[in-house]
Amino acid sequence: MAETDSSSSSDGEPSQSLASIAENLQRSAIQSARTVQHSSSTHFRAFQNFLPEAVSQYRTYEDAFVNKVKDGLMIAKENPAVSAGVAISVALLAMRAPRRFLFRHTLGRFQSEEARYARIEKNVKDLNLSVDLLKKENAKLLQRTTLAEKEMKYGHTELVSAGTQFQQLAKSAYKVETRAADLLDKLRYIPSREALALRAEVASMASNLKRQRFSLNKRIMKINELGVPV
């Protein structure tokens, strides 16, 4: 009988411990739910309390902004000269040159001497590079000019020589042409067939000499047009 009681008591202890654990878990869950609900309701009430204040501040800022705009419009209406001056100032600031001038005389003065010196030094280097490039180009042009002058002098000498030769040939052609004309006059008084054939030959020769002389004179005129006296 005693053994039966002891076994029943040993079986009852685990059941009691499990029941107590379940009760503790249920109690913890209920407490956590209450805590979360309380925290949520607290935050919601705080947000409800803050919302009217935020709306009031927004309306205050909005009214202040509207009043500022109204004051500005009234000032512009009462002082058109001031409005025109502001408009002109804005237009000038939109242009590059006045903007640079204003920057130089305001914010530009706050720049350090090192920064300005570095910028000026860079500009000097760029200027030196440009000067060196100009020197090289100038040397090339001088060399080409010297060669052109030599060629021009040589060409001038050649043109003078050619013009002189053309002039001498033209004079010689004129002399031969004159002699041919004299022969034609003499052959007119000889009625033979041989004289007629010779006269035709001399006339052809004289015509050819005349064409050659005209061609030489044209070349001499072209040389004179180039500025070379012949």
When divided into structural domains, the chain yields a total of 2
Query: What is the spatial distance between Cα 186 and Cα 107, in angstroms, rounded to a whole number?
Result: 108
Dump pLDDT digits (tens) for 69-127. Answer: 556 556 656 666 555 555 565 555 455 665 565 556 555 555 566 777 788 888 888 88
Is this structure's pTM higher than 0.75?
no
Dump pLDDT digits (tens) for 31-85. Answer: 655 554 555 555 556 555 656 666 666 567 556 655 665 565 566 566 665 555 5
Q: Are residues 100 and 129 in the same domain?
A: no
Dump pLDDT digits (tens) for 179-193. Answer: 988 888 888 888 888
Query: What is the spatial distance between Cα 168 and Cα 176, in angstroms, rounded to a whole number?
Result: 12
Q: Are residues 35 and 81 in the same domain?
A: yes
Task: Evaluate whether residue 6 is within a structural domain.
Answer: no
Q: By residue range, what is the domain housing residue 163? A: 118-225
HSE of 200 in the Cβ direction (CA atoms, 13 Å)? 5
Task: Evaluate whether residue 156 is within a structural domain.
Answer: yes
Q: Are residues 26 and 89 in the same domain?
A: yes
Query: What is the spatial distance between Cα 156 and Cα 166, in angstroms, rounded to a whole number?
Result: 15
Angle of CA points 194, 196, 198, to nearest 5° = 70
